[in-house]
Amino acid sequence: MNLVETLRDFMLTPAPSGYESEMAYKLADRLKPLCDDVQIDHVGNVIGKIAGTGSGLPTAMVFAHIDQLGFIVRRVEADGYLQVDRLGGIPEKVLPALKLSVRSEDGTWHTGVFGPKAHHATPAEEKYKVDLVTSLFIDIGAKNAQEVHELGIYPGCPVIYQPQFELLRNHKVTGTSVDNRGACAALVAVAENLHANRPACDVYVVGTVWEEFNLRGAMMAARTVKPDLAIMLDVTLASDTHDLASRFEDALGAGPCVQLYSFHGRGTLNGTLPHQPLFGLCKRTAQEEQIPLQRFAALGIITDAAYLQLEGEGVAVLEMGFPARYTHTPVEVCDLRDLESLSNLVAGMMRRIDGEFQLNRY
């Protein structure tokens, strides 16, 4: 399976936070022929080990979250409509009229829609206002609550945007969960690269759970792996759209990104500053392998690297990734070439970790 087929397969696999099993097993199956050992831990993190050829070197972890955002059913109405709360950072502006997939307790998926008020009956003052997710109703076509319950749908069941994948022009892809299946596809490519050309240090390739929920699934993976250093792979906000053109500098198709500042800034006092020797390794590798490197820094973003770095005696962390447009909507867009160059850059970095690598920050 090549990168685009892997990405299609991953983007069409439903995996809301807490319900990542199908995606976890799929990733584990892809990693098994490439790794010396693959396990799935108690919370669902997929942990593959590629043993290095050297000894006494730092242990490295390259990780990408495998979950996606969505909703949780809060109430089944007597007439069969569903009410939900958000699971992760949902943009409420895009919700009305979306197609959805609702997961029953037995794991089957059912199509539904966020039904907006009929346009002909919408007064002018309602036309330009955003409806809160808590005011929307999901229609699965059921007659009543009993029919919903017979399908196994109750409060607590997750809901996602109906998975979709389409190719656009010029190596671009649009659909659901580009965040973060793009990075999951790149992670498989990193494993393929390192399997073919082994690094000196042990490298763990890890798919993590719960990122969109509470950012903390990666912590449990770190307790198994005990990494000295970690590279996180996720989206950055592409700045090549009219609405963000003057905000950042990164563009689709212009190469992988290194994220040099992330801070949530909305109540969560956490974020990530780059480990300087890892940033140096990233720059040197990009230069030597002639891979263009884009820099990204943003307030308002946080990833699971922020929590992973607090594990053990402290983990040296660098956030890397690829630019994506329209993040957290069902029409996210990325460029396949950025995923490929990201995997080459990260694999090149892993192969450059030797006895000379300075792990301490100062």
Interacting residues toward Zn ion by CB under 5 A = 179-180, 234
The amino acid at 284: R
Give the residue with the Cβ less far from Zn ion, 59 or 303: 303
The answer to whether 102 and 110 have CB atoms below 8 angstroms apart is yes
Count CB neighbours of 247 within 10 A: 10
Rounded Cα–Cα distance for residues 326 and 178 (Å): 10
Question: To which residue do tokens 């700045």 refer?
Answer: 239
211 in active site: yes
Tell me the closest approach of the beta carbon of residue 179 to Zn ion, in angstroms.
Answer: 4
Tell me the closest approach of the beta carbon of residue 65 to Zn ion, in angstroms.
Answer: 6
Q: Return the DSSP state at 68.
A: B
Helices 276-288, 336-351: axis angle to 10 degrees equals 110
Give the residue with the Cβ less far from Zn ion, 202 or 234: 234
The amino acid at 148: V
Tell me the closest approach of the beta carbon of residue 323 to Zn ion, in angstroms.
Answer: 13
Report long-range pairs for 90-99 (Cβ below 8 Å, ≥24 apart).
90/133, 90/328, 91/328, 91/329, 92/130, 92/131, 92/132, 92/133, 93/130, 94/329, 94/330, 95/131, 95/133, 95/136, 96/131, 96/136, 98/161, 98/162, 98/330, 99/161, 99/162
Whether omega before 180 lies within 30 degrees of 0, making that bond cis, reads yes
Tell me the closest approach of the beta carbon of residue 251 to Zn ion, in angstroms.
Answer: 19
Give the residue with the Cβ less far from Zn ion, 234 or 319: 234
Rounded Cα–Cα distance for residues 360 and 188 (Å): 29
Tell me the closest approach of the beta carbon of residue 151 to Zn ion, in angstroms.
Answer: 30
Give the residue with the Cβ less far from Zn ion, 71 or 322: 322
Give the residue with the Cβ less far from Zn ion, 239 or 262: 262
Report how far apart the first and last C-alpha atoms of the chain are (Å, whole number). Answer: 43
Could you say which of 211, 212, 311, 319 is catalytic?
A: 211
Give the residue with the Cβ less far from Zn ion, 179 or 192: 179
Tell me the closest approach of the beta carbon of residue 17 to Zn ion, in angstroms.
Answer: 11
166: tokens are 């389409």
Rounded Cα–Cα distance for residues 241 and 91 (Å): 17
The amino acid at 248: F
Tell me the closest approach of the beta carbon of residue 185 to Zn ion, in angstroms.
Answer: 13
The answer to whether 9 and 166 have CB atoms below 8 angstroms apart is no
Give the residue with the Cβ less far from Zn ion, 234 or 338: 234
Catalytic residues: 211
